[in-house]
Structures are given as structure tokens and as C-alpha cells.
Amino acid sequence: MLIETTTSAPPQADRNAAIRKVATELEGVFLDEMLKHAGFGEARESFGGGVGEAQFADMMRREQARHIANAGGIGLAEQLFQQIAGRSNE
């Protein structure tokens, strides 16, 4: 018995959810860079400095940027979503 499968485009709701997820991730990366250049999370040698403290400061900044983006961010993800979703619906 041969079962025929076809690959079709995902339903619009799934596609929009995927677009929104990627747009939010991109906003998180953008916010991480903005916070980095603003000096947020720089090691202040509170615990003696060193490579470990710098790495954990980077991780903390990255997670905080991701949290900001997931909480609504600065609107960049929504703008990206509107542009990408709008083009794909044309």
C-alpha cells in the first residue's frame, strides 16, 4: 500500500507564530547589543573580576535582553512581524 504525502504550507496561524518567535528573538539580540554598548553588565570587579565574571555578566545581560523582548520589548519585534507577515500575505 502506497501512502501519498504532500507537503503544504503550514496553516497561517502556525506561520505567524513562527514569524513572531523569530522576530522576538531578533529583538532580544538587538537589545543585548544595545545593553552591551550602554555598559550594562560590565564587570565591576565586585568579586575580583576575571574571565569568569565577564562571562557570567554576558550571560546575565543576554538573558535580561531576552526577557525584555519576551515581555513586549521596545516594539521592534512587532514591526518586524508586521513587515514580514504583510509581505507573505501579498
34: left (phi over 0), alpha (psi -120 to 50) or beta: alpha
Q: How far is residue 24's CA from residue 45's CA, in Å, rounded to a whole number? A: 32
Q: What tens digit of pLDDT does each residue of 3-27 get?
A: 655 556 568 889 999 999 999 999 9
pLDDT digits (tens, 9 = 90+) for 25-61: 999 999 999 999 998 877 666 666 677 777 788 899 9
pTM of the model: 0.74
